[in-house]
Amino acid sequence: MLPQQFLERMQQFLGEEYPAFLASYEQLRVHALRLNPQKTDAESFFLQRLFGLAPVPWAQNGFFYAPGEEPGKHPYHAAGVYYIQEPSAMAPVEYLFWDGKAGAVPMEQERVLDLCAAPGGKSTQIAAKMAGQGILLCNEIHPARAKILSENIERLGVANAMVTNETPEKLAQLFDGYFTRILVDAPCSGEGMFKKNEDAREEWSMENIALCAARQDGILDCAASMLSAGGKLVYSTCTFAPEENEGTITRFLCRHPEFAIEKVKTYPGMESGRPEWYEGAVREVADTVRLFPHHVKGEGHFLAVLKKAGRRETSAVSLGSRFGLERGMSDSVRRQPGNGVLEWEEFAHETLRESFGGNYIKFGDQLYLAPEGMPSTRQLKVLRPGLHLGTIQKNRLKPSHALALYLHPEQVRYRVDLPADSSEIRAYLSGQALQWEGEKGWHLVTVDGYSIGWAKQAGGVLKNHYPKGLRIHYA
């Protein structure tokens, strides 16, 4: 039930290609997941022979999975071993870090912004590229979606991310020329997702396309001001509408002559931008990239890689927001009981094989470890300022679920490893206590070696600390 006016437009645009395009809607959707290199690698994962995986050509850790498979219901999903993501949607982040070759490793001082980040697929992909280095700011304007974003950052074990719930305009006031790379996966009319998103089909109209295009112009202007000289901006949408693609980029380049489109390597099936689809388009938009569902195994997508003129600074250790860097607790405050640091150090001594510290931030009774060089949280709506260590309760630290998902088994003194196909892991994920003889105290629960949560041993019983909101009620 595709909108008739949409079909007429696409027939006009595509000409001889239109029948193949239309036929793609009769085909089954393809599904993919992206492995989390903080947890596993492709070689190790393939040995488990799960889900019938086949590589996504344009994504370093992306893999199609076979029809009928349900990786979202597997315990590895809860452990953050992978993220389920539409294959075409994996392309923009790959190009954000494309520096003449695919899979280029970012420098230690990268400061990256995902401006429209929920639900977190692209943010966690960025985090995988950064491998715990540099600063990642993930922002989402809608509070409920920002919460989902924060939860996915937690599930994938990301420690160097700051999650905010702000408008692009507010961020632009605070971060002039701060970021070295910015992703704008812009809100759009969603034409490329019609196959899976009924709401997008029902809300489609030419008026909505115009509204989206105007909104994109404003978001991109904010992003332009936040990008450092020599920095890279990737703009992407999941729509075919040229007003939101070639048109948005044309208007942007006219307003910002300091930017230029970067011509990039493409993969089989990827198409060039279509300047002929938008009246007045600059010819350079032919160097943008389109993904059509009748040419690639994926849904519709568009992306443009934009480079800002100037020489990139190779280091900016002292650079922060308008309010500088986040300083966290002073040494005198750290040593006071109840502020969290002493409690954390006691927990770490009892539970971890190796302690780690740094810049501590306390929000209420919650203790966080901020990444080195994180900008100030002042005047920002912050959901997650780094790694959540735990909750301070009666001068003790109760470790967070985020900490469990971040840790590796070799970092803890005590752990309980449960097979993925066992009744014990199902019992654990449903919130049940387990009979277990062992040392008293906190145990990291793992599934086939992947960290998944906490349990506390006392009297031969492992008390379950898997979060109530995440528990799975098996039939």
Nearest to 299 by CA among 33, 90, 65, 472: 90
CA separation for the pair 78, 80 (Å, rounded): 5
- As given in the structure block, the two tokens for residue 129 are 């590229």
Catalytic-residue membership of 212: no
Output the CA torsion sign for 82, 63, 113, 38: positive
Q: Does residue 357 contact residue 390 with C-beta atoms inside 8 Å? A: no
Q: What amino acid occupies position 441?
A: G
Q: How many residues are listed for the chain in this entry? A: 475
The active-site residue, picked from 116, 212, 238, 254, is: 238
3-state secondary structure the chain: CCCHHHHHHHHHHHHHHHHHHHHHHHCCCCEEEEECCCCCCHHHHHCCCCCCCEECCCCCCEEEECCCCCHHHCHHHHCCCEEECCHHHHHHHHHHCCCCCCCCCCCCCCEEEECCCCCCHHHHHHHHHHCCCCEEEEECCCHHHHHHHHHHHHHCCCCCEEEECCCHHHHHHHCCCCEEEEEEECCCCCHHHCCCCHHHHHHCCHHHHHHHHHHHHHHHHHHHHHEEEEEEEEEEECCCCHHHCHHHHHHHHHHCCCEEECCCCCCCCCEECCHHHCCCCCHHHHHCEEECCCCCCCCCEEEEEEEECCCCCCCCCCCCECCEECCCCCHHHHCCCCCCHHHHHHHHHHHECCCCCCEEEEECCEEEEECCCCECCCCCCEEEECEEEEEEECCEEEECHHHHHHCCHHHECCEEEECCCCHHHHHHHCCCCEECCCCCEEEEEEECCEEEEEEEEECCEEEECCCHHHCCCCC
- The Cα 368–Cα 389 span in angstroms is 5
Residue 254: is it exposed, middle or buried by C-beta count within 10 angstroms (0-12/13-18/19+)?
Answer: exposed
Block residue for tokens 């599934």? 447
Helix 246-255 crosses helix 206-226 at what angle (to 10 degrees)? Answer: 40
Active-site residue numbers? 238
